[in-house]
Amino acid sequence: MTRTRAQYVHQVSRPTGAPVPGNFAFVEGPVPAPEPGTALVENVYLSVDPYMREAMDEGHWELGTPLEGRSIGRVIDSRTPELAVGDLVFHRYAWRTHALVRPAEVRVLPPLAGIPLSAYLGVLGGTGLTAYVGLTRVLRLQPGESLFVSAAAGGVGGAVGQIARLLGAERIIGSAGSAAKVKHLTERLGFDAAFDYHDGPVAELLGRAAPEGIDAYFDNVGGEHLAGAIDVLREHGRIAWCGAVSQYNSAEPAAAPRNLYDVVYKSLRLEGFLVRNHRAVQQELEEFLVPHLRSGRVVADETVVEGFDRVVDAFLGMLRGENTGKMIVQTAQA
């Protein structure tokens, strides 16, 4: 059914600590009409991601305007020869049902037989690209090495574990927030070991899972996880620092790990990175992963929430760890 009204989500206030539904408002208006050089896109899938929590703070997203994010939509009206009705496109006008786009702002997505369209927001999108860049450009993971991944049952963490296996990692260990997620890591995603970080100090749990130490750590969490990994890393180990989700809701500046000097003592290398600085690697990622997705060796691990009216719930649920794999909101028929 064709929508006659467009819907948007605005951020209307800054969160203090964890975000709440009252920080957002749903707004309705007419479906916009394309002008020359633009096309009208009806969004099909929207991505909600941990970085969006930081974007809610002062100096990032503007209040009272539609929010941004990775999105996949279908062109339903066009006044540019570069975009045809029916084209499926990737763009960054999220948190809305409809968007006006220019050709330079989108990527027309080629259909991939046997692979769900939503994978372009997950393992074939920014999520998978983050994992791939962190492993190949930052950690430079080598065959036979051991790797620890925090928040391993999330979108990036699960992709890291699966890609690391393809790159020849000998032992892959993940942390997660529940026994069910630990089981998901070892039984569905192929991790060699995993633990629930609620069960004790991370350094102790990781030490039991990797009694001979680890070569590399992919950090999505920061805090105690980073300190625990520094404890267990072997000399000349490497850390790819992707995020610090454990600290996003804190009003206080993040404290340095208690054992930060061990980075010097052990000759460790710690490097932070932003995936937006590595977009040129996208084609390499797809060429690497598509055959493995088709063969089933890699799983497009995702949690899909249906309905635009649930986009805020999906975002807040993702921050609480209610998803396994990439959290995606489906807003229209694919």
pLDDT at 195: 98
The DSSP code for 136 is I
What residues of the chain score a pLDDT lower than 70? 1-3, 246-254
The two beta strands, 5-11 and 269-272, are unpaired
In a domain, 324, yes or no: yes
Tokens of 76: 């339903």
Same domain, 103 and 189: no
Q: Indicate whether 295 belongs to any domain.
A: no
* Final residue of a structural domain among 276, 293, 309: 276
| 204-241 per-residue burial string, b: 16 or more CB within 10 A, e: under 16 | ebbbebbeebbbbbbbbbbbbbbbbbbbbbbeebbbbb
Q: Is residue 272 part of a domain?
A: yes
Alpha helices in 202-301 (DSSP H): 202-209, 223-232, 262-265, 282-295
Residue 240 and residue 268 in contact, taking contact as beta carbons nearer than 8 Å:
no
Whether residues 107 and 197 share a domain: the answer is: no
8 A C-beta contact, residue 135 and residue 141:
yes
The model's pLDDT over 145-167, given as tens digits with 9 standing for 90+, comes to 999 999 999 999 999 999 999 99
Q: 107 and 71, same structural domain?
A: yes
What letters, b where the CB count within 10 A reaches 16 and e where it falls short, cover 113-127?
eebbbbbbbbbbbbb
In a domain, 67, yes or no: yes
Q: Which residues, including other chains, have CB under 8 Å from residue 308's CB and lie 6 or more apart?
A: 7, 46, 97, 329, 331
For residue 250, the model assigns a pLDDT of: 58
- Domain-embedded: residue 79: yes
Mapping DSSP to helix (H, G, I), strand (E, B) and coil, where does residue 149 land? strand
Answer yes or no: do 149 and 114 share one domain: no
CA distances from 239 to 153, 233, 235, 252, 271 (A): 19, 9, 12, 24, 6
Evaluate whether residue 305 is within a structural domain.
Answer: yes
Compute the distance between CA of residue 178 and CA of residue 186 in angstroms, rounded to an integer. Answer: 13
As for how many domains the chain has, the answer is 2
Do both 236 and 146 map to the same domain? yes
User: Do 145 and 172 belong to one domain?
Assistant: yes
Q: Residue 169 is part of a domain; what is its CATH number?
A: 3.40.50.720
Q: What pLDDT is recorded for position 244?
A: 77
Domain, as residue range, for 270: 126-276
Q: What is the CATH number of the domain that holds 108?
A: 3.90.180.10
Question: Residue 202: how many CB atoms within 10 A of its CB?
Answer: 23
Residues 44, 173, single domain; the answer is: no
At 162 the pLDDT is 98
Looking at the structure, tell me whether residues 134 and 104 fall in a common domain.
no
What pLDDT sits at residue 111? 86
Tokens of 221: 């969490």
Q: Are residues 271 and 130 in the same domain?
A: yes
Same domain for 112 and 131, yes or no, is no
114 and 133 co-located in one domain: no
Q: Is residue 293 in a domain?
A: no
Q: Is 321 helix (H, G, I), strand (E, B) or coil?
A: coil
Sign of CA dihedral 322, 326, 332, 334: negative
Say whether both 137 and 239 belong to one domain. Answer: yes
66 found inside a domain: yes
3-state helix, strand, coil split of the chain in percent (to 5) is 35, 25, 40
